Chain A
Amino acid sequence: MTTTLPAENETRARTVPALPLYAAHVRALVVETLRVPIAVIGTLAFPALSLLFFVVPNRAVADDPVFATAAVASLAVFAVMVSSLFNLGLTVAEAREKPWNPYLRSLPLPAAVRISAQLTSTAMLSFLSLVPVLIVGALATEAIVSVLGLIAGLAVLALTSIPFLLLGAAIGYAFSSKAAIAVIQVGMFGFAFGGGLFFPPQFFPEWLETLSRFFPSRHARELTLAAVEGTTPELWMLVGALAWTLATAALALWLYRRDEGRRYR
């Protein structure tokens, strides 16, 4: 040690207030995504179109308030799941391939600010993709929901989307962006069918109904529906959702750390 710094202003050095910085990052991330309209239109239109083609023409479902509400809730879960997996998975995979992220890491930017901005912007887009589903559901089916049920449903949707966000991040850390697209597409349809988002699980053969109870999409569907209808959720739904959240969090964390090591080859 030869020299020390005249460090009054250094020791007091603080990064700029987190909230405006977080807002700037959320804004940049949202704008970045919205400027690629195809990406947005895909996530926005697909769940609403599924509702329009699969549910609305089937008047037995569309004209029955209970079935219709379940169908709209299922496709709302589908919309949020697709958006979480796709947006976060692709964002993370692409960020790993581009040198912009290392540059951001060299700015006076606390890591938590960047990560929460990424989660927020993805969640915002997820909820944006709900809007068309809710509109089609309200106009073209007999689905009914109370104001309280809607609010509770949205809150539960947000919570049950966490494993999908984490899984999206994990896929992003594990695969290149091209491979991530393929993995997400396969996983997304598996989860959608297996979780009863396209066909109600009541019509599943028994073995599939049992299997279905291990899918995070099934937990999300049942819990959201319970919130919308104001019924009490069953224990297996809560345990399942919690288990998936913990497992995907561990997976994402493990892959993140492994990725740190690999990047520095």
Chain B
Amino acid sequence: MITIARLDGVTRRFGDTLALDAVDLTIDQGELIGLLGPNGAGKSTLLSLLLGRRRPSEGHVELFGGDPASAARRLGLGSTPQETALPETLRVSEVVELVAAHYPDTRPTAEIAEEFGFSDLLRRQCGALSGGQKRRIAVALAFVGRPRLVLLDEPTTGLDVDARHGLWAAIRRHHGAGTTVVVTSHYLEEIEALAERVVVIDHGRVLADGTLASVRDRVDSADVELATSAPDQVAALTGVARADTAGDRLRLTVADADEFVRALVRSDLPFTGLAVRGASLEEAFLSLTSLTERNAA
């Protein structure tokens, strides 16, 4: 494994606020990492340290073996401006070319526009674009300089379903071609669809860091669905944390799926159409972050 970026015991304070608290994180070449956390968890601060925009209060940040605050270290780095950032009076092609001027090896404007679906917008001024169009262009800018590491902050916010799936395909394609990608998102579905490794942070600390499956496994609960004529008795079985009825189906959250199914069969209660599903990333995320909520309180 080749490490291309690293945070060693990084703490960042803003006045009295602790945005990052002794964070260790290693990004290896070829990874596709999903960075998850509620608003204000420290995701943006973490990215801004890697982008060289801010310096850590304590600890050490390394990008491509050097200090990200030095401009030359950022040659292999691609990132995305907020879509409201694009200079309104510049044409799309001018913005792409301005960004390209910073890199020795770049993708031709026409090619990048084709890939991210804005070939027809190149002559337009950025101020005349819709939010979704700006977002696509902002994401494309991250790939203009053939980066080795791409940091995407909320890349699909404000995009419709089609555009979102198109962008996911582009991210997967670049990852497949060897680009290392870090993506933050509000959509857990997005992280679930894209990421191989998930890092959950909250209150400035890394709560979980591992494969998608291992983070999901951090939460033991599972979802069980079935149809039954005795919903109250089924919901009263041991280990049931929550029960809702949806139409004629009963939806249960249980602590241990195997234990519950054994109890259900032993009870001889009537049921049909049993379905068992492990915890989703969303449940794992909620359970992890509410844990810190409790610890912090």
Residues of A bordering B, CB below 8 Å: 2-7, 10-11, 13-16, 20-21, 24-25, 28, 31-32, 35-36, 98-100, 102-103, 105-111, 264-265
Chain A residues near B82 (CB-CB < 8 A): 99, 103
Question: In the complex the two chains form, is B4's CB within 8 Å of A110's CB?
Answer: no
Question: In the complex the two chains form, is A15's CB within 8 Å of B94's CB?
Answer: no
Known: A107-B102, A264-B14. 7 other contacts (CB 8 A): A10-B73, A13-B64, A102-B53, A103-B82, A105-B53, A106-B79, A264-B54
B107 to chain A, nearest CB (A): 15
Question: In the complex the two chains form, is B101's CB within 8 Å of A21's CB?
Answer: yes
Is B154 engaged at the interface, CB distance under 8 Å to the other chain?
no
Question: In the complex the two chains form, is B71's CB within 8 Å of A103's CB?
Answer: no
Bound complex: CA A109 to CA B77 (Å): 12
Near A by CB (< 8 A), chain B positions 52-75 give: 52-54, 64-66, 71-75
Chain A residues near B229 (CB-CB < 8 A): none
- Tell which of B2, B72, B77 has the most Cβ of chain A within 10 Å: B72
Bound complex: CA A128 to CA B184 (Å): 46
B144 to chain A, nearest CB (A): 10
Bound complex: CA A106 to CA B87 (Å): 16
Q: List 18 A-B contacts (CB under 8 A).
A: A3-B26, A4-B65, A10-B65, A10-B73, A16-B101, A16-B102, A20-B101, A24-B97, A25-B101, A28-B98, A98-B85, A103-B81, A105-B52, A106-B79, A107-B71, A108-B75, A109-B71, A111-B71
Question: Interface residues of B, CB < 8 Å — how many?
Answer: 41
Q: Is the interface of A mostly helix, strand, loop or mixed?
A: loop
Known pairs A3-B2, A5-B65; A108 contacts B71 (CB<8 A): yes
Partner of A107, one of B15, B74, B104: B74
Output the nearest chain B residue to A16 by Cβ-Cβ distance: B104
Known pairs A13-B72, A24-B97, A105-B52; A32 contacts B65 (CB<8 A): no
